[in-house]
């Protein structure tokens, strides 16, 4: 039995400790906002926060998250108020197809926690998520809008 604290709520799940966190979130807990895409930690669609740090959950064994605070896209907003990154995405209509955007938003939220006013070079270094639609200019604009939304 593994105890996870996801979006502030404790969950006991009976899974193999090597099961990727992504599958526990999606299949055991029904949190489908975290997306499966590449399965090898390359694209970032599966990004969640563990203790505030962005991690790719498709390659993260659930045992690593045991007892730690896990935040998914479903838990990013507080009291039904969108996180400033989510708000910026809405204001600028950032996504095209949107599949990668939950992971992208989680990566950006973690970046802004560490660097409240990142430079373009810091954005390039930190946001390595892949967007097949190529919305990178909109993502950069969204990051700058989120900085302004403080």
Query: Which tokens belong to 63?
Result: 């045992």
Cα–Cα distance, 145 to 2 (Å, whole number): 39
CATH number for region 2-75: 3.10.20.30
Q: Which of 6, 102, 87, 112 is nearest to 47 (CA)?
A: 102
- pTM for this one? 0.96
Report the 10 Å Cβ neighbour count for 14: 7
Q: Are 65 and 52 in contact (CB under 8 A)?
A: no
Domain boundaries, the chain: 2-75, 84-148
pLDDT digits (tens, 9 = 90+) for 65-106: 999 999 999 999 999 999 999 999 999 999 999 999 999 999
For tokens 């973690």, name the residue.
Answer: 110
What architecture (CATH level 2) is domain 84-148?
Answer: Orthogonal Bundle (1.10)
Average pLDDT on 24-46 reads 97
């Amino acid at each position: 039995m593994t105890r996870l604290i996801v979006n502030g709520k404790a969950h006991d799940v009976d899974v193999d400790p090597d099961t990727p966190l992504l599958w526990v979130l999606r299949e055991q807990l029904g949190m489908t906002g975290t997306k499966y895409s590449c399965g090898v930690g390359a694209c970032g669609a599966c990004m969640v926060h563990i203790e505030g740090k962005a991690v790719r959950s498709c390659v993260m064994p659930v045992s690593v998250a045991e007892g730690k605070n896990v935040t998914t896209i479903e838990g990013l907003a507080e009291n039904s108020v969108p996180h400033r990154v989510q708000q910026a995405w809405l204001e600028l209509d950032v996504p095209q197809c949107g599949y990668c955007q939950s992971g992208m938003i989680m990566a950006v939220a973690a970046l802004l926690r560490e660097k409240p006013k990142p430079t373009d070079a810091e954005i390039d270094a930190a946001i390595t998520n892949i967007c097949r639609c190529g919305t990178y200019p909109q993502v950069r604009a969204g990051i700058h809008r989120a900085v302004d939304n403080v």
